[in-house]
Structure 1
Amino acid sequence: MPQLNPNPWFSTMLMTWITFLLIMQPKLQSFTQTNSPSIKLSPHKTTPWTWPWT
């Protein structure tokens, strides 16, 4: 069964992760978010939903 032989696939997986960690991740983290989350000071009051069949 070729799935059990890690020889051809381990190096591919390792190179993929190294590429992602060293090249892609810093590029992706350099983007700024357009909508940063805001802190709400007052709690939001919810009203219960009235179901028509109850």
Structure 2
Amino acid sequence: MPQLNPAPWFLIMLATWLTFSFILQPKILLFSSPNSLSNTPLITTKPTPWNWPWT
């Protein structure tokens, strides 16, 4: 069964992984995020309890 022989597929997987890691990933990381982080402190509000009508 040729699909159990890892010799040809391992090199293809390794070449694909190296291509993604060294060429594509830095290009993808250069894109700016649409939601930039802000330095304002988060305002935490205390949640109000839910009034269950059947209790």
TM-score bracket relative to the smaller structure: 0.7 to 0.9
Structure 1 residue runs of 4 or more that deviate by more than 6 Å after TM superposition:
none
| TM-score, normalised by the number of residues in structure 1 | 0.73
Q: Is 1:15–2:15 an aligned residue pair?
A: yes
| Gaps in structure 1 of 5+ consecutive residues | none
| Gaps in structure 2 of 5+ consecutive residues | none
RMSD: 1.8
Residue number in structure 2 paired with 1:2: 2
Q: Is 1:35–2:9 an aligned residue pair?
A: no
